[in-house]
Structure 1
Amino acid sequence: MKILVPIDGSDCSFRALEFATGMATRYDAALHVVHITDARDEATDAILERARDVLDANDVEDEPDVRTDISLDFRPSDRIGEDVVELVAEEGYDHVVMGHHGAGAVERAILGSATETVMDAERVPVSVVP
């Protein structure tokens, strides 16, 4: 089994990562962490370092990856969700674990939701961690 965990630096994405490390250990699955952004900067490096700490603390081997998408200017959450769906198809992931911010209907209408985009694609099972 191959598990993908997209992270955005939020606490809920790191709760999802913690959940996924337990899942990977329990099912002897490969786990991969990805951060999708429009530009790599110091904040990106801090997110990756925090992810490495979680992986190391849970004895999970992975090197978090950064994917750069310069088209994240309009409804970036929807675009990130589409990038995750593409990554699932390209790399053959069996499961996705994502955090969800619990935004209201107005925020989702304006900003979109990466998690909802991945779930709506119905490519693989998705575990949503609040």
Structure 2
Amino acid sequence: MGLTYNNILVAVDGSEEAERALKKGVEMSKRNDAELHLVHVLEIRSYPADAASIKERAEQYGIELLDKYKKIANDLGLQKVNTVLEFGSPKVTITKNIANKIEADLIICGATGLNAVERLFIGSVSENITRSAHCDVLIVRTQKDSE
């Protein structure tokens, strides 16, 4: 394994932490001349089976979120940026499916993210990524995390 990264995956969810992870991902991608893959996973179990409109709105939100992050990365001077929108459990989908598919050699995510209640009961997505990833993982903290 080399000392540079080729495919950097940044997990984003709309939180302040995700934005910091994005900026770190852009910085690392430039430094390594790597491809940046912005990933947003929509939790499917949280939609009732008949709630197609809720699912469509969530999908639209995911597309807009990824477009916004891609524009930020482009504005910061990075051109090799891909977006990935998937349905599933972020904890499983990011490390088991997406990271393998894009051959990620670094996963970057925020320390916490949006869903505090879920974190209390089943642990955070970032904790799970750290435990189950087959590549390096960088957890980005905010000022609030370190206080």
TM band (smaller chain): 0.7 to 0.9
Instruction: Look up the match of 1:10.
Output: 15
> Could you say if the C-alpha distance between residues 40 and 8 of structure 1 is closer, same or farther in structure 2, counting changes exceeding 3 Å?
farther
> Could you say if the C-alpha distance between residues 99 and 66 of structure 1 is closer, same or farther in structure 2, counting changes exceeding 3 Å?
same
Q: Cα distance, 1:40 vs. partner?
A: 4.6
Question: Structure 2: which 5+ runs fail to align?
Answer: 1-5, 45-54, 142-147
Q: Identity over the aligned pairs, expressed in percent?
A: 25
Q: Secondary structure at the match of 1:101?
A: coil
Find the aligned partners of 1:56 and 1:40 in 2 and give their Cα distance.
27
Match of 2:65 among 43, 47, 64: 47
Find the aligned partners of 1:25 and 1:115 in 2 and give their Cα distance.
23
Find the aligned partners of 2:13 and 2:67 in 1 and give their Cα distance.
13
Tell me the alpha carbon deviations over residues 81-119 of structure 1, each in whole angstroms, 9 at most, x when there is no partner.
21111121232110001012289x986341421111110
> Could you say if the C-alpha distance between residues 111 and 91 of structure 1 is closer, same or farther in structure 2, counting changes exceeding 3 Å?
same
Instruction: Look up the match of 1:115.
Output: 126
Tell me the alpha carbon deviations over residues 26-58 of structure 1, each in whole angstroms, 9 at most, x when there is no partner.
111111111110335242233123212211111
Question: Structure 1: which 5+ runs fail to align?
Answer: 70-78
State the TM-score, normalized to the length of structure 1: 0.80
Larger radius of gyration: 2
Instruction: Look up the match of 1:66.
Output: 85
Q: Secondary structure at the match of 1:59?
A: coil
Question: How many pairs are equivalent?
Answer: 120
